[in-house]
Structure 1
Amino acid sequence: MLLLQTNNVLRRFGADVLFHNINLQINDHARVALVGRNGAGKTTLLKMIAGITSPDEGTITKSQGLTIGYLAQDQGLDSENSIWAELDTVFTKLHQQESQLREMETQMADGPHDDSYDRLMKKYDQLQTLYKKEGGFSYASRMRGVLQGFGFDESMWQLSVNSLSGGQKTKLALAKILLQQPQLLMLDEPTNHLDMNVLSWLEDYLRGYDGALLIVTHDRYFLDRVVNEVYDLANGTLTHYTGNYSAFVTEKTHRLQTAMKHYEQQQKKIAKLEDYVNRNLVRASTTKQAQARRRQLEKMDRLEKPVNDDQSIHFQFHQDHASGNEVLDVDQLKIGYNEHVLAGPLSFAERKGQRFGIIGPNGIGKSTLLKTILHQLPAISGTIRLGANLDIGYYDQEQQQLHPEKNVLNEVWDDHPEINESQIRSLLGSFLFVGDDVYKQVSELSGGQKARLELTKLSFKPINFLILDEPTNHLDIDSREVLETAINDFPGTVLFISHDRYFLNKVATDILAMTATGITRYPGNYDDYVAAKEKQAQAAADKTSNDSAPVSKTASTGQKDYRASKQKQRDRRKLQRAVDDLEKQMDEWQQKHDEIEKQMSVPDVATDIAKLSDLQKDLDNSQQHLDDLEEQWTTAAEKLEDFDQQ
């Protein structure tokens, strides 16, 4: 059933058009993602759908009686109620029904058994049936489940909502809207402030949600697990794709490549026809043929050149010299404030070229660990040994290294006064600070702009040990992908904190799982960490099973099914990584191929037969690599598709 439809919706921003021809459909039980760059208009569109604002042109139609729940970005609750009492307001109608049922029970207990009693009894049965249907016997357990899922244990339930932090208030607002169970649930950046355990719980909850979902988030791992449709808001309009986020990326790339190929083919045809017309129109013997080709040109439905919304940051980290092999040794370290231990003892060692990703619950002390390593905070006990010849670059998620009273230009230039203004502005331009943007005060910048400014400063200095605290916060998806490339191309060592599981998969060589009592290293990326944890859990379950009484045949079958399910998940992750790796190699060889063609077009080279011959060999070699990789990718992709269909 169609729940909602937008028809040619348009929104102006002053004299400019923010987006136009927005046509979107949401069916019952849909799982839809809305993606696009920061500033593309995603939140603006959500507000229109929610009825908060209206389109400048076009219409939005909704099914009769449609209930919509909309959680704005970082929207928190403001209430003097306790946590439990605030969530309990969702069930006011059920409480009214409870009161009516109690009142009827009293009347039935005290009243005579006559006709009025029979009518009351019938009314009571009807109300009790309705009460049960609307969740009257399960709402309390639902509240407990959602609160525990979001990390609010029972000891917190009587705390005042207004005593909570901003992040906790946002989580509670999300919990409340989930309990309301609207037919269409719209979430704008719901993964902010959520640690990995809560994210995993929320993903499972939303996959089983009975209504439809429309989600805006930069969390690509979350999108891969939850959605099966993607609307891409780019270049001022909307394009629909089926599949999760990874499928969308592949399909969008393919669409753009195909569209560009068709455009280029048509341009060659147009040029050939125009050349013929220009050469033959004035010659008596060929005038008719030239006129026919001119008419062909006039009737041709000309394709527009495909436009990719490629306004993206581009940069790299660089080092002046390599560090020693021993970069960081942490031994029996306890961290915290004023002798209050947050976590420890922590022990690990990182060597040159490794990229360690630190994960753990919010509030465990991950940022404190980085600040202690940097000697910004004193260690309570234990030792930290930094290696020789280190040039450290630090990204602070709180962005306290930026000066709020400076403008963007001076924030960078004051650190490098020996460099001229044009070079500074050129660097800022690569991070999308152009024109008058460079004169904005730091205090006026958005979170995303501050993140880009801090990365600008890091890219300017020589670094061989990069320490990053939640670097993907505030960055849109495209900027995150650029950051991933910059880190993977960086020859130095990286230590970073992140809750972005997609980012961890792309960047980490090792995972450091941190708890209040220690830190454990897991080789590989986030998926490898998950697989290792599953293996540990299965080994523990097998040991418990072996130590206990013999299990029944049914239980044994269940364990086999569980192991088979987990193995299937591991096999799929392996296939997906193979596809991703081949795509990366194809991109690299395509760049080499394009670079060779560019060299061959240089006038000096084009007239040098020897150079041209060598380059042609390189071109043929790169094309052969591309062909081989494409064949391997096709095979791997088909295996993955067959696997998903099993």
Structure 2
Amino acid sequence: MLLGLQNVTFEFGARVIVSDATWHIQPGDRIGLIGYNGTGKSTLLKVLVGQYSPSAGTVEKGRETTIGYLHQDLLSFDTNESITGVALGAFERVQQLEKDIERLGKELEANPESEEILLKYTDALHEMDVLDGYNVHYKAEEVLHGLGFSNEDLEKPYKQFSGGWRMRVLLAKMILQAPDVLLLDEPTNHLDLPSIEWLEKYLLNYKGSVVIVSHDKFFLNRMVNKIVELYQRQLHIYTGNYDYYEREKDIRIDMQQRAYENQQDYIRQQERFIERFKAKASKAAQAQSVQKRLDKLDVVEDVQLERPDIRINFQMDKTPGRVLVSLKHINKRFGDNVILENATGEIDRGDKIALIGANGKGKSTLLRIVAEAETFEGERVWGHNVDESFYAQHQLEALNLNNTILDEMKECGSQKTEMELRSLLGGFLFGGDDVEKKIKVLSGGEKARVALAKTIVSKANFLMLDEPTNHLDMHSVELLAGALNKYPGSYILVSHDRFFISKTANKIWEIVDHKIKEFKGTYQEWVEWNERMAKIDADKKSEGGKPKTESVKKEEAKPAAPMQEKAVSNAPVNRELQRELQKQQKRLMALETEISKASDERARLEKALGAPENYSDKKKFALVENDYRKAHDTLQSLNKEYESLFEKVMELETQAAG
């Protein structure tokens, strides 16, 4: 055993995190530590490394066992040293030997006859060779490249990088130290998809043991051979990956439920026997014996799943036009770093877009451009009737730490009453007095739930979501994915959680060569398409530019459906239906323009009603009020016509598609 807990109980104030827990980490273990938000997973890691002492029991650690622990608090570290220098800090002994060899070499030049210096110099060279010290720079660069750093980044000062990139440098250093046990607290929160995939491959061949706190199902399924679940203050150990854990947990719950029901039947039978015969002299002794057996019975608990079900119910007030956002000739750069160049894209009603790719390619920048939260060159046009809401990573930092949760919600401008806000917050697991908690005392998961609640209260028909699953546990991620699937509006999201993307997106956007590349299909279809294209490219290269076989030629010739325009159907085209559809679509676009003008006119007259020169003059006020009523009625009439026409166009589109 490398590290473990023996009958450990740990209490955080009055709250019990874990009770009488035993857990041994063995060589070769790759463990996923899971549990709902707030159960104490990060706290348990701190108990393992000795930052917290258990109330009872012991933390056991092998005498020679080394531990690496990656966690959020490391971000307070700062230095002017280059990121390569920080990563090379993993090789303290090698760095010392480099200095010793240089010093001893100079001493030997000055005193070539000294056997003592020669012996020390030879010993230092031998130890350097044993430690593979001449390859440490190569190893450090290899790991930093794998985690997404470019050649230009390697000599840049550590302090120039943002929090997520700093965490990668510290992860690189920890990997290079190669401790016996590596404890990683939410490492994928700071990584893009290519880096997560690289880390998976690296850790699968890692000689030490690994414990990972993560909500990324894909990552856990590929990485771990054990799951340890912190649930109801107990540790439940499963030998397998996350999928195995889900199946096995269902079986265990089913078995416990049956055992409970069987025992309850047995108890009822015995109690009936006691009740019936305890007054009879001939059976009293037997009844007493049965009672003693019942008193000693090890009671099986009823299965009551304690899980925090956040209630996410996205709503929208009004239906937008066909096009929500148009991006035309967009240019964006940061100094010499070109993000977008003459890029074009369009988000239509019903689009559920996942914006994916490596960090540094500009995903969050593009999302901010869509949200009008970033400067750029080019044209970005909102469609008709679009009510947008933007959930950004920085919103967690933007929360007012001195506000209570309730005050933070009141400042959203939602016009909801306190009772309505309390009810909404109850759905996000903030019940009763919890709403009076200050933001500054909340955990990362709790802050994420507050920020999500602020997004939902808006009743927007278009959502922009930047890493919405960060800090949420897996169950909450599933609930959020389910809510987005039911959401009648449209959205674009940035996420590195492959499970979440696979459950939510019907289109994929990538930034390729500074352009927006659109794939019409799900994440799984996108993965399969890329694999197919990679195979075709590999076959071409292996044959000097020619496809390998006839079957590959056919595969290449066959259009990849999601990336192409829809194939023209051979079915006869209903010309009359097409003409009617085009006519109604034109009318719908014209109506959008009329509604926009009518809305502006009503807003102008509403402002005029409040002008002193009008409300102080009865005649003027009556005229303006009359005009306002007419404008209001016109707008209502246009909106009613728009809704009716919108439904008709949808019906015609369905008929035309069929």
Q: Given the alignment of the two structures, is residue 489 of structure 1 paired with residue 493 of structure 2, yes or no?
A: no
334-343 vs 53-62, greater mean Cα deviation: 334-343
- The CA deviation at 1:475 is 1.6
- In the alignment, is the contact (CA less than 8 A) between 1:408 and 1:438 conserved in 2? yes
Alignment correspondent of 1:360: 357
Question: Structure 2 residue aligned with 1:395, among 386, 391, 398?
Answer: 391
Which amino acid letter does the alignment assign opposite residue 191 of structure 2?
L
Matches within 5 A, 1:126-205: 128-205=125-202
* Separation in 1, partners of 2:94, 2:484: 53
- The CA deviation at 1:182 is 1.1
- CA shift digits 1:558-615 (9 cap, x unpaired): xx9xx9xxxxxxxxxxxxxxxxxxxxxxxxxxxxxxxxxxxxxxxxxxxxxxxxxxxx
101-110 vs 234-243, greater mean Cα deviation: 101-110
35-44 vs 478-487, greater mean Cα deviation: 35-44
Question: Structure 2: any 5+ residue segments left out of the alignment?
Answer: 556-658
- In the alignment, is the contact (CA less than 8 A) between 1:343 and 1:364 conserved in 2? no
- In the alignment, is the contact (CA less than 8 A) between 2:414 and 2:458 conserved in 1? no
- The CA deviation at 1:88 is 2.9
* Separation in 2, partners of 1:52, 1:172: 23
- In the alignment, is the contact (CA less than 8 A) between 2:389 and 2:463 conserved in 1? yes
Matches within 5 A, 1:521-560: 521-547=518-544
With over 3 angstroms needed to count, the CA separation of the structure-2 counterparts of 1:446 and 1:299, relative to structure 1, is closer
Alignment correspondent of 1:309: 306
- The CA deviation at 1:292 is 7.5
* Separation in 2, partners of 1:463, 1:320: 7
Which amino acid letter does the alignment assign opposite residue 165 of structure 2?
Q
- CA shift digits 1:312-353 (9 cap, x unpaired): 312221334554554444444334689996324333444443
* Separation in 2, partners of 1:529, 1:176: 34
Q: Given the alignment of the two structures, is residue 14 of structure 1 paired with residue 10 of structure 2, yes or no?
A: no
Q: Tell me, what secondary structure is at the counterpart of 2:307?
A: coil
- In the alignment, is the contact (CA less than 8 A) between 1:4 and 1:25 conserved in 2? yes
Q: Tell me, what secondary structure is at the counterpart of 1:137?
A: helix
- The CA deviation at 1:265 is 3.4
Alignment correspondent of 2:369: 372
- CA shift digits 1:491-523 (9 cap, x unpaired): 332221111112112222222122461122234
- CA shift digits 1:395-429 (9 cap, x unpaired): 23221775555432233346578655334322211
With over 3 angstroms needed to count, the CA separation of the structure-2 counterparts of 1:351 and 1:104, relative to structure 1, is closer
- The CA deviation at 1:234 is 1.4
With over 3 angstroms needed to count, the CA separation of the structure-2 counterparts of 1:346 and 1:408, relative to structure 1, is same
Which amino acid letter does the alignment assign opposite residue 522 of structure 1?
F
* Separation in 2, partners of 1:274, 1:463: 59
Alignment correspondent of 1:602: none
- In the alignment, is the contact (CA less than 8 A) between 2:141 and 2:154 conserved in 1? no
Alignment correspondent of 2:620: none
Alignment correspondent of 1:85: 85
Q: Tell me, what secondary structure is at the counterpart of 2:155?
A: coil
With over 3 angstroms needed to count, the CA separation of the structure-2 counterparts of 1:494 and 1:11, relative to structure 1, is same
Alignment correspondent of 1:65: 64
Alignment correspondent of 2:495: 498
Alignment correspondent of 2:228: 231
* Separation in 1, partners of 2:526, 2:309: 31
Q: Tell me, what secondary structure is at the counterpart of 1:24?
A: strand
Q: Tell me, what secondary structure is at the counterpart of 2:24?
A: strand
- The CA deviation at 1:193 is 2.2
- The CA deviation at 1:128 is 4.4
Report the count of equivalent residues.
548
Which amino acid letter does the alignment assign opposite residue 480 of structure 1?
V
- The CA deviation at 1:56 is 1.9
Question: Structure 1 residue aligned with 2:339, among 330, 338, 342?
Answer: 342
With over 3 angstroms needed to count, the CA separation of the structure-2 counterparts of 1:461 and 1:78, relative to structure 1, is closer
- The CA deviation at 1:431 is 0.8
- In the alignment, is the contact (CA less than 8 A) between 1:332 and 1:347 conserved in 2? yes
With over 3 angstroms needed to count, the CA separation of the structure-2 counterparts of 1:252 and 1:347, relative to structure 1, is farther
With over 3 angstroms needed to count, the CA separation of the structure-2 counterparts of 1:466 and 1:269, relative to structure 1, is farther
* Separation in 2, partners of 1:427, 1:46: 33
Which amino acid letter does the alignment assign opposite residue 221 of structure 1?
F
Alignment correspondent of 1:411: 408
- In the alignment, is the contact (CA less than 8 A) between 1:431 and 1:452 conserved in 2? yes
- The CA deviation at 1:260 is 2.1
- The CA deviation at 1:161 is 2.2
Q: Tell me, what secondary structure is at the counterpart of 1:192?
A: helix
Q: Tell me, what secondary structure is at the counterpart of 2:469?
A: coil
Q: Tell me, what secondary structure is at the counterpart of 1:157?
A: helix
* Separation in 1, partners of 2:451, 2:96: 54
- The CA deviation at 1:232 is 0.6
Alignment correspondent of 1:38: 37
282-291 vs 183-192, greater mean Cα deviation: 282-291
Alignment correspondent of 1:432: 429
With over 3 angstroms needed to count, the CA separation of the structure-2 counterparts of 1:422 and 1:31, relative to structure 1, is same
- The CA deviation at 1:549 is 10
Which protein is bigger by CA-based radius of gyration? 2
Q: Tell me, what secondary structure is at the counterpart of 2:525?
A: helix
- In the alignment, is the contact (CA less than 8 A) between 2:36 and 2:307 conserved in 1? no
* Separation in 2, partners of 1:284, 1:110: 108
With over 3 angstroms needed to count, the CA separation of the structure-2 counterparts of 1:348 and 1:262, relative to structure 1, is farther
Which amino acid letter does the alignment assign opposite residue 476 of structure 2?
S
- CA shift digits 1:431-462 (9 cap, x unpaired): 11123221234455443223212322343443
* Separation in 2, partners of 1:274, 1:548: 83
Q: Tell me, what secondary structure is at the counterpart of 1:9?
A: strand
276-285 vs 434-443, greater mean Cα deviation: 276-285
With over 3 angstroms needed to count, the CA separation of the structure-2 counterparts of 1:257 and 1:315, relative to structure 1, is farther
- After superposition, the CA RMSD in angstroms is 3.6
With over 3 angstroms needed to count, the CA separation of the structure-2 counterparts of 1:324 and 1:284, relative to structure 1, is farther
Which amino acid letter does the alignment assign opposite residue 83 of structure 1?
I
- The CA deviation at 1:272 is 4.8
342-351 vs 142-151, greater mean Cα deviation: 342-351
- The CA deviation at 1:45 is 1.9
Q: Tell me, what secondary structure is at the counterpart of 2:19?
A: strand
Matches within 5 A, 1:450-461: 450-461=447-458
* Separation in 2, partners of 1:60, 1:85: 34
- In the alignment, is the contact (CA less than 8 A) between 1:408 and 1:442 conserved in 2? yes
279-288 vs 43-52, greater mean Cα deviation: 279-288
- In the alignment, is the contact (CA less than 8 A) between 1:147 and 1:175 conserved in 2? yes
With over 3 angstroms needed to count, the CA separation of the structure-2 counterparts of 1:262 and 1:396, relative to structure 1, is same
Which amino acid letter does the alignment assign opposite residue 47 of structure 2?
M
Which amino acid letter does the alignment assign opposite residue 542 of structure 2?
S
* Separation in 1, partners of 2:458, 2:161: 39
Which amino acid letter does the alignment assign opposite residue 178 of structure 2?
Q
- CA shift digits 1:168-218 (9 cap, x unpaired): 222111111111111111112222322112222122111111111112122
Alignment correspondent of 2:558: none
- In the alignment, is the contact (CA less than 8 A) between 2:370 and 2:380 conserved in 1? no
Which amino acid letter does the alignment assign opposite residue 49 of structure 2?
A
With over 3 angstroms needed to count, the CA separation of the structure-2 counterparts of 1:417 and 1:504, relative to structure 1, is closer
* Separation in 1, partners of 2:9, 2:204: 32
Alignment correspondent of 1:222: 219
70-79 vs 276-285, greater mean Cα deviation: 276-285
* Separation in 1, partners of 2:177, 2:287: 70
Q: Tell me, what secondary structure is at the counterpart of 1:191?
A: helix
With over 3 angstroms needed to count, the CA separation of the structure-2 counterparts of 1:389 and 1:282, relative to structure 1, is farther
Question: Structure 1: any 5+ residue segments left out of the alignment?
Answer: 564-646
Q: Tell me, what secondary structure is at the counterpart of 1:25?
A: strand
- The CA deviation at 1:382 is 3.8
- CA shift digits 1:512-548 (9 cap, x unpaired): 1224611222344433323222222222222222226
- CA shift digits 1:54-110 (9 cap, x unpaired): 222111222221111122225234223222333333333224444555647985998
* Separation in 1, partners of 2:277, 2:427: 48
* Separation in 2, partners of 1:377, 1:123: 60
